[in-house]
């Protein structure tokens, strides 16, 4: 499932490539036909992300809310004929021949697969496949969704005290609390495990036993990691001294993570075997040596 940095990158991409102009909306798959009709021909005013939710605001005062879930993805094409595949997953490009209609809108190629919604403007198009949520909502409904979410470290309105208020009173493990979107929005399985490793925190520590002296650096590090993810487009959590070739970055490599997907492999810091168990519905990875 895409984590918070990906949604903020998507919001910025929509602002840059669709913002300020009219958008044609269709549902090639047919499952979103009514919603597409509500925003068809409207001007996209802004893209906004909160946690794992993407909100696209239109001049009608309505918003397209998208949650990608485990299988959702956007793909983009631009007017010079190059099709960018697989956002948020990088899958390369392919050349396509494009035309324009009488109003100057791009005429994109025939949709491939089950495209829930297609957005087209004079510069290109965007296709959405497989989201867990895709709906048109009012501003009040958008606010109601956001009210259920915890602070997003990437947003300027983020208040870490809101998260701390929940964590400090909870018997639940910090490893589980970090996966709750009503505690901190945008944190997923990778950021959970990697941030706890970097902080040297046992993921089984209860929230009320964490202590502010460990919470504040954890929040700050999560914020920094997410910002790096927005900048780079992928998650890198290893520090330069723990990479075989630090000068090769930023380039995706197998040594970009400390513990995730490395069950049984030696820790990059202490050489203890990386452990794994299920927690909060996902596989949790940690180092018993560094986080014991």
Indicate which residue of 3, 48, 62, 194 is catalytic: 3
| Residue 136 and residue 61 share a domain | yes
Active site residue 250: no
Shared-domain flag, residues 120 and 166 = no
Instruction: Give domain status of residue 41, yes or no.
Output: yes
Long-range contacts of 89-98 (CB under 8 A, 24+ apart): 90/233, 90/234
73-101 average pLDDT score: 66
The answer to whether 3 and 190 are in contact (CB under 8 A) is: yes
DSSP for residue 51 = T
* Cα gap 168→174, rounded to integer Å: 10
Q: Above 70 in pLDDT, residue 37?
A: yes
Q: How confident is the model at residue 84 (pLDDT cuts 50, 70, 90)?
A: low
Specify whether 175 is located in the same domain as 214. Answer: yes
Domain holding 138, by residue range, is 4-146
Overall average pLDDT of the 136-157 stretch: 98
Is position 213 annotated as part of the catalytic site? no
- Please tell me which residue in 9, 42, 52, 65 is annotated as part of the active site: 52
pLDDT value of residue 89 = 45
Residue 172, CB-side half-sphere exposure with 13 Å CA sphere: 14
Mean pLDDT of the chain: 92
pLDDT at residue 90 tops 80? no
Pairing relationship of beta strands 115-120 and 124-129 according to DSSP bridges: antiparallel
Q: Is residue 291 included in any domain, yes or no?
A: no
Q: pLDDT digit string (tens) for 189-222?
A: 999 999 999 999 999 999 999 999 999 999 999 9
Catalytic residue, chosen from 2, 108, 131, 153, is 2
Examine the residue annotation and report whether 82 is marked as an active-site residue of this protein: no
Task: Establish how many alpha carbons lie within 13 A of residue 215's alpha carbon, considering only the half-sphere containing its beta carbon.
Answer: 23
Count other C-beta atoms under 10 Å from residue 39's C-beta: 23
% of the chain residues with pLDDT over 90: 83
Question: Where residue 119 falls among pLDDT bands split at 50, 70, 90?
Answer: very high
- Shared-domain flag, residues 43 and 126: yes
Residue with tokens 């990608």: 68
213 backbone dihedrals φ, ψ, rounded to 5°: -65, -20
* pLDDT value for 248: 72
Range 77-84 contact pairs with CB under 8 angstroms and sequence separation of 24 or more: 77/106, 77/108, 77/109, 77/124, 77/125, 77/126, 78/17, 78/123, 78/124, 79/106, 79/122, 79/123, 79/124, 83/109
Q: What is the CATH number of the domain that holds 121?
A: 3.20.190.10
**Local confidence band at 24 (pLDDT 50, 70, 90 cut-offs):** very high
**Active-site entry in 31, 162, 243, 282:** 282
Residue 234's pLDDT band (cuts 50, 70, 90): confident
Task: Work out whether the CA dihedral 82, 8, 74, 64 comes out positive or negative.
Answer: negative
Q: Map residue 123 onto helix, strand or coil.
A: coil
Report the C-alpha gap between 84 and 78 in whole angstroms: 8
Top pLDDT among 201 and 98 is at 201
For residue 222, tell me if it sits in a domain. Answer: yes
Q: How many domains does the chain have?
A: 2
Look up the pTM and report it: 0.92
Q: Report the candidate in 257, 254, 274 with the shortest Cα–Cα distance to residue 265.
A: 274
138 and 8 share one domain:
yes
Q: Is 213 exposed, middle or buried (0-12, 13-18, 19+ CB in 10 A)?
A: exposed
**143-160 mean pLDDT:** 98
pLDDT at 235 over 50: yes
Count of alpha carbons within 13 angstroms of residue 270, beta-carbon side? 14
217 is catalytic: no
Residues 137 and 158 in one domain: no
């Amino acid at each position: 499932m895409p984590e918070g940095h990906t949604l903020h990158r998507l919001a910025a991409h929509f602002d840059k490539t669709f913002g300020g102009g009219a958008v044609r909306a269709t549902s090639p798959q047919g499952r979103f036909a009514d919603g597409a009709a509500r925003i068809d021909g409207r001007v996209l005013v802004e893209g906004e992300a909160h946690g794992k939710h993407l909100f696209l605001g239109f001049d009608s005062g309505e918003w397209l809310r998208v949650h990608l879930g485990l299988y959702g993805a956007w793909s983009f094409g631009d007017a010079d004929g190059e099709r960018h595949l697989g956002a948020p997953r990088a899958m390369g490009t392919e050349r396509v021949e494009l035309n324009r209609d009488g109003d100057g809108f791009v005429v994109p190629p025939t949709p491939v697969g089950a495209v829930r919604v297609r957005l087209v403007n004079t510069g290109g198009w965007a296709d959405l496949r497989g989201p867990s949520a895709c709906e048109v909502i009012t501003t009040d409904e958008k606010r109601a969704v956001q009210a259920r979410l915890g602070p997003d470290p990437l947003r300027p309105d983020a208040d870490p005290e809101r998260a701390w208020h929940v964590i400090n009173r909870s018997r639940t493990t910090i490893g589980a609390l970090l996966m709750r979107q009503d505690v901190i929005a945008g944190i997923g399985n990778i950021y959970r495990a990697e941030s706890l490793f970097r902080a040297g925190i046992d993921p089984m520590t209860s929230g009320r036993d964490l202590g502010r002296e460990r919470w504040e650096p954890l929040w700050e590090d999560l914020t920094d990691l997410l910002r790096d993810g927005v900048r780079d487009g992928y998650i890198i959590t290893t520090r330069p001294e723990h990479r075989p070739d630090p000068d090769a970055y930023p380039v995706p490599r197998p040594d970009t993570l400390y513990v995730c997907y490395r069950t049984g492999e030696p820790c990059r810091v202490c050489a203890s075997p990386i452990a794994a168990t299920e927690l909060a519905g996902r596989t949790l990875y940690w180092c018993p040596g560094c986080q014991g």
